[in-house]
Chain A
Amino acid sequence: MAKVMMKGNEAMALAAIKGGCRAFFGYPITPQSELPEYLARHMHKYGGVFLQAESEVAAINMVYGASGAGARVMTSSSSPGIALKQEGISYIAGAELPAVIINVMRGGPGLGGIQPSQADYKQVTRGGGNGDYYVLAFAPENLQETVNIIKESFDLADLYRNPVMIAVDGLIGQMMEPVDLDVEISKKDLPEKTWATTGTDGKRPPVNVNSLFLDAQDLENHSFKLDKKYKLIKENEQRYEFVNMDNPELVIVAYGTMSRIVRSALEILNNEGIKVGLLRPISIWPFPEKAFNELPDSVKGILTCELSTGQMVDDVKIANDGKLPVGFFGRTGGMVPEPEEIVQAVKDMLRGLK
């Protein structure tokens, strides 16, 4: 298929359908409402289910039920709505159910604002709900990458029996870009869903979808089993991109919308003869720690750039393991910086390093 011009939220909705999503439960919230609106118009044509729930809490529990019954299911929301869904996400992770969750992030805390933000980084990458769990989380930077990852996420969710979150921000949700929805995504060899509640049909013993382990030893065993899965995901799914890695003096770590602005800043810096590279995490959980071992010897420091007050800095410091100085530049609350602000931050940091 040729590329078509689509709005981010609508492209994400269509990508989900193309990824096999046949059930969507959600609740309106800015800046992602065009996504459920698109599915309300089109899901039935694919034999799927669209339902607007009475709340985010109900929506995520409908996802739990539908996923437990074997369906490929998705929900979407924006920051305060994702906060409400955390209870259900914890249950989905605990019961090892596949689900895709799109978070079109906006500024917080609390009701915050409706402009683009990356201030949910910790909520997204630290589980967010109660207990020992993680969701596989991707933070793409443009629409093509976003739709590709959404399509693949339904396979990844089934493969690992784990929630997968796509963390974009309001800018990606609201902008229009040419996008090809039919890019081939390599299919994974997926096991049959023998755990799903479909009715026994008199052919097998009853199954139970559950996250309850009243015996502490049983729960520890379950948590260690989950942890083993998370280690496997860490090994297999760290995704990142390097830009301008030809002997840079400094490396910027930035993802999503911020990495797009950083790309513009790199051009300005390059024209001034200042060599700066970009390490762009595509997966934010697992965080691409492996990439930090590949940094060239020329690098004298790392500048973390985010649309937050520095939520990713801890992960950068852990991955860097004390080897290089780590600086930070960020705007938050829905403010999006000009490339020149990043150029200035780079120059300030380089001056401090000399």
Chain B
Amino acid sequence: MGKVVFKRSEGLSKKEFSYCPGCTHGIIHRLVAEVIEELGIIDKTIGISPVGCSVMNYEFFNCDMQQAAHGRAPAVATGIKRVRPDNIVFSYQGDGDLASIGTAEIIHAAHRSENITVIFVNNAIYGMTGGQMAPTTLIGQKTTTSPYGREEKHAGKPIKMSELLATIPGASFIERVSVHDPAHVRKAKKAIKKAFEVQVEGKGFSLVELISTCPVNWGKTPQDALNWAKENMIPYYPLGNFRTPEEDGKND
């Protein structure tokens, strides 16, 4: 009998992912699932599905889930956490969701230091609606609504949500990671685990921003998309920790 060295995480259901080939949602889902499994909290976790490509992730996580309106996941998470403070609550949001239509909700959830964990997937484009410009789309990046490349004069600079949220006193843990290669995937998992631990310990609002890809809407092969994220997104969206509870007060 051989030893099991790799298996499906208990945090995931049996349902097959419906994502495009090369999309990193699958990796990020797995990391979240492994973390809630390792922390032994699957049974008391309640997740919030967003609007966008990952809208159906309620089918993929092996815990109770609520699906939210576009951008409203932090408000839904707040409602759940306030009436069920002993449960673990996380929202899973894309860049359109969190950095555009839901900016008020995410800023005020951080401001109240809601004891929730936010998984923020930033791939600099609207995926499900067909590749339109996001607030996080890079300067010069072509999308269906910035067909000549994003211009700063027309659409402003890409918004840096982690840096913005780190200025809010209530934000306890903010870190930006990437999943473009195995070494960074491991670092991403560490950050996600830390974010959930912050919640388990009742230390307030935690958010992990993950640099992600969209091979189909970027018009690239999966590998080229990973390379593009590394070479273009990370220089603008630097990886690293912006806030931890241990250094509380640092940014006040």
Interface residues of A (CB under 8 A from B): 22-23, 25, 49, 51, 53-55, 57-59, 61-71, 73, 87-88, 91, 95, 197-202, 206-212, 214
Beta-carbon contact of A208 and B78 below 8 Å: no
Residues of A close to B216: CB separation below 8 A: none
CA distance A110 to B78 in the complex (A): 29
CA distance A142 to B59 in the complex (A): 47
Query: Known contacts being A54-B104, A206-B64, is A68 close to B72, with CB within 8 Å?
Result: no
Residues of B close to A87: CB separation below 8 A: 69
Residues of B close to A61: CB separation below 8 A: 68-69, 72, 75-76, 79, 105
| Contact residues of B between 55 and 84, Cβ < 8 Å to A | 55-56, 58-59, 61-69, 72, 75-80, 82-84
Residue of B nearest to A210 (CB): B67
Beta-carbon contact of B83 and A49 below 8 Å: yes
CA distance A346 to B185 in the complex (A): 77
Shortest distance from the beta carbon of B209 to any chain A beta carbon, whole Å: 21
Residues of B close to A53: CB separation below 8 A: 75, 78, 108
Query: Known contacts being A65-B66, A65-B78, A88-B72, is A58 close to B104, with CB within 8 Å?
Result: yes
B152 sits at the interface (CB 8 A) = no
CA distance A57 to B108 in the complex (A): 12
Shortest distance from the beta carbon of A343 to any chain B beta carbon, whole Å: 48
Residue of A nearest to B66 (CB): A209
Beta-carbon contact of A197 and B46 below 8 Å: yes
* Total CB contacts across the A-B interface at under 8 A: 136
Beta-carbon contact of B78 and A51 below 8 Å: yes
Beta-carbon contact of A68 and B84 below 8 Å: no
Interface size range of chain B in the complex: 35 or more
Beta-carbon contact of A201 and B65 below 8 Å: no
CA distance A59 to B79 in the complex (A): 9
* Residue from the list A25, A62, A64, A206 in contact with B13, Cβ < 8 A: A206
Shortest distance from the beta carbon of B42 to any chain A beta carbon, whole Å: 8
CA distance A226 to B69 in the complex (A): 20
Residue of B nearest to A214 (CB): B56
Residue of B nearest to A97 (CB): B66
Shortest distance from the beta carbon of A32 to any chain B beta carbon, whole Å: 20
Beta-carbon contact of A206 and B62 below 8 Å: yes
28 contacts between A and B (CB under 8 A): A22-B83, A23-B79, A23-B82, A51-B78, A51-B82, A54-B111, A57-B104, A58-B75, A58-B105, A61-B76, A63-B79, A64-B75, A65-B48, A66-B79, A68-B76, A69-B46, A69-B66, A197-B46, A199-B43, A200-B43, A206-B61, A206-B63, A208-B64, A208-B65, A208-B66, A209-B65, A210-B65, A210-B66
